[in-house]
Amino acid sequence: MISSAKDDRSTIVRVCCAYFALFSCNGLHQPFFPIWLSAHAITESQISVIMSAPLLLRLFVTPAIGSFADRSSNRTRVIRVLALLVLATAMLLSRAQGFWPIMALTCLMMLMSQAISPIVDATVLSLVRQGRAHSYGRMRLWGSAGYATAALIGGQILGLGGPTAVFYAFMTMLAVEFVAFLALPDGAGAPVKDERPNLPLRQQPLLVAVMLVAGLALTSQTAFNIFGSIYLREHGFSDRTIGFLWALATTAEIVMFWAGPRVTGILGPFGLLALASGVAALRWSLMALTPHAGVIVLLQLTHAATFSCSYLGLMRFVEVHVSDLRGATVQSQFVTLIGVMTALSTLAVGPIYQQFGSGVFLAAASLAALAFIILLAIRKPLQASDLAHANPSSP
């Protein structure tokens, strides 16, 4: 039961702040952590191993944490504990030297960090289902805004103080993230019974296929996520420009999330995922060419389709077809799936980039093309399923 409109607005504001802080940490970590590793004499192949190991290990960790959160009467307490542990581990990592200590602490930090986002997403979808919020996308966009802001500032910090300064900024943002999670009201978005089938993933083949399509489209970004900053640096882009380009992509992502309710209503899950996978195949094919500043700007703007539409298509399907009692579990299963796919991709892109340079983006394009082919294969059941659940709650 909703106590008052004021209470709901307060909850939504706190969720938006939590998203902003959570993805600000990502914006300082994802673009610049490989550069920090490189500054600690870690080779390209070792970077691939360090970045992929926690993605493989999450297969055994993230679903268990998500299931625990669903069984818990208070998902937000689980989020807070994880955030505090991530901060403590990052502080230890800042002092680490050598491949094995850095790898061990990075794995621990990323395993806990990766478990937070799906629980937050499940909480937000619960609020949407309860009618306490209208749009997942318009809350999630604040995460994108945080990422863009942090990436832009991170580029400035990198140019002024180097990789170590960026890592200290990352740790500072982890502390802010913990405070933002403390502000989340206890029990916000707690799972409730609803009419959707409470089925395990193995009994929902269409959901598995949709997750696979979204996962492949998102995994195609691995090559750029790992080596994008290094690649652009090698082609003469300044650190500040690199930060701007990362922020530009996320700004486009924000615009798409804001337009999410309208775009989702027009395209549905199939249209959103088709746009994401099709544009991703084109984006990475063009990225393989020698980069020109104008072309790179345009390609970064396509992030609105390759990233945002992947998430909007998946979240629309999950909102309609997955029981709220399994919300965090399914979200965690998805990030585990994409984690394994990303880990395998990360292991591959290091040697490929070392050997072929920009050719690694052609491999990325092939993943997006595979997603599009799978989507075409499930087109009829996916569209039929969407019609059968006409007029669900807003995305």
Residue matched to tokens 């979808």: 125
- 158-161 long-range contacts (CB < 8 A, ≥24 apart) are 158/32, 158/35, 158/239, 158/242, 158/243, 159/238, 159/239, 159/240
- Asked if residue 196 has pLDDT above 60, the reply is no
> Domain segments of the chain: what residues?
5-388
Put simply, whether the predicted model's pTM sits higher than 0.85 gets the answer no
Roughly how many angstroms between the first and final C-alpha of the chain, as a whole number? 20
* Residue 124 identity: V
* Residue 337 identity: L
d(CA 50, CA 353): 16
How far are the Cα atoms of 66, 169, 249, 387 from residue 103, in angstroms, in the given order? 24, 20, 29, 47
- Asked if residue 270 has pLDDT above 80, the reply is yes
- Asked if residue 263 has pLDDT above 60, the reply is yes
Residue-wise pLDDT tens digits, 329-349: 777 788 788 878 887 887 888
Q: Which CATH superfamily is domain 5-388 in?
A: MFS general substrate transporter like domains (1.20.1250.20)
Residue-wise pLDDT tens digits, 279-333: 999 999 999 886 788 899 999 999 999 999 998 999 888 877 776 666 677 777 8
Residue-wise pLDDT tens digits, 117-170: 988 988 887 777 777 666 777 888 899 889 888 988 998 899 899 999 999 999
What band does 394 get if pLDDT is binned at 50, 70 and 90?
very low
